[in-house]
Amino acid sequence: MQLTILSIESSCDETAVSIIKALKDDQGNITKINILAHEVESQNESHAPFGGVVPEVAARDHLAKIYDITNTALTKAKIKNSELNAIAVTMGPGLIGALMVGVLFARGLALSLQIPLISVNHVDAHLAPALLLKKFTPKNDINIWHETQKISFPALALTVSGGHCHLSLLKSIQEKTILGKSLDDACGEAFDKVAKLLGLNYPGGPFIEVLAKEAELKGNTNEFSFPSKPSNKENRYNFSYSGIKTAVMEVIRKETGIKKGKITGKDLSIEKKQSIAYAFQQAAINQLYDRVENALKDNPEIQTILIAGGVAQNLKFREIFSSINKQVIFAPPSLCSDNATMIGLQALLNSNQNGFNDHPYAKYF
Ligand code: KG4
Ligand code: ZN
């Protein structure tokens, strides 16, 4: 069976539309995937002056762009509307105004084309590229048939993004149990907040990574160290990042002598910023590693580790996790940050043997 889906993502600060084709065998397994269009427009520039995402700005930006981006995706995919089998859309979690733009647009499309509307959970969808695709670069892999991944289960899945930090156990693609979540800030959020304290741009993760690399190249890796584990010892799987962020703030106050008020990083030398970025990044990654180690100790039957989400683009993170003595599968870097291809892939994973169940009103929204 061949299925073609147009998918929409608008839960936060990326407006994205993708069109994918997939082949399913008689058992309902997805065997091949072809990404015909992968359009992502980031709102980073709109939110950068505020140092974080402003919900009202995000919703207005989606509204301004979603029609044109969809049109571009349809033109690039060179398919007729009648070839689409379903529309898939992120139904949550996310910013309510931002989600509403995507969901209502998707409803209108599904209604006018008289095809099913599939509502997709955004956090589940982050994992879908790791479950299905060995590689994908928007430059080289558009309109190419990809064989799907062969995953050995049970698998441990770590999703680390700006809004979420989830550790889950998967007995199969469909059977997922969440082991741990963030008790306060998500890991990516902590990268963004620490970046703001250091006077770096939004989103801060990539800038922290660059500074940390510079510290490493200069050998400045021992000047600071931050606590990597949450103080609550009872839970072996949950995450907590607000403590590390506060520790960074205290170090900056000490280094700059600014006892009260806003910290902007402008009184820190570049060397200090590099050393702090390095120590923070190590602590942030060590906490993720520690939680994964606990899960592996408690569940020795785990065969595979799946890693996804915006933070999974970090090369230090990839290097450290690659050393684990299991099959470690990272989502392709271009599908780690928010995009609509992951929404289409998750819709495929949610589909049954005969295709899609109709959710004409994205009823879980
Ligand atoms: O998955 P994503 O695009 O959005 C959410 O669903 O939240 O993740 C965005 C997050 C941001 O917090 C960003 O700073 C972080 O991913 N990020 C990184 C890197 N690239 C993006 N964090 C650390 N290192 C990176 N290279
Ligand atoms: Zn996301």
**Residue carrying structure tokens 């299991």:** 326
Provide the pLDDT for residue 232: 64
Pocket around ligand 1 at a 6 A CB cut-off: 12, 161-163, 188-189, 191-192, 203-206, 209, 309-311, 313-314, 337-338
Alpha carbon of 28 to ligand 1 centroid (Å): 33
ipTM at complex level: 0.99
Q: What pLDDT is attached to residue 355?
A: 73
Q: Annotated binding residues for Fe cation, as ranges?
A: 122, 126, 338
Phi, psi of 59 (to 5 degrees): -60, -45
User: What pTM, to 2 d.p., does this model score?
Assistant: 0.94
Residue 201 C-alpha to ligand 1 middle, in angstroms? Answer: 13
Beta strands (DSSP E) in 223-365 are 304-308, 327-330
Q: Which residues are annotated as a binding site?
A: 122, 126, 159-163, 192, 205, 209, 314, 338
- Are 129 and 332 in contact by the 8 Å Cβ rule? The answer is yes
Q: Which residues contact 264 (CB under 8 A, 6 or more apart)?
A: 197, 199
Question: Given ligand 1 and candidates 161, 164, 192, 316, which is best to mutate, with the most ligand atoms within 8 Å of its CB?
Answer: 161
pLDDT (tens digit, 9 = 90+) per residue, 192-211? 999 999 999 989 999 999 99
Model pLDDT, residue 322? 97
Closest ligand 1 atom to Cα of 188 = 12
* SS percent in the chain: helix, strand, coil, step 5: 45, 20, 35
Here the tokens at position 172 are: 């199969």
Task: Please give the CATH architecture assigned to the domain spanning 155-302.
Answer: 2-Layer Sandwich (3.30)
Across the chain, mean pLDDT equals 93
Quote the CA–CA distance of 174 and 351 in Å, as a whole number. Answer: 11
Q: What is the pLDDT of residues 126-143, one digit of tens each?
A: 999 999 999 999 999 999
- Architecture of the domain spanning 2-148+338-358: 2-Layer Sandwich (3.30)
Residue range 251-274, pLDDT digits in tens: 999 999 988 888 888 889 999 999
Domain boundary assignment for the chain: 2-148+338-358, 155-302
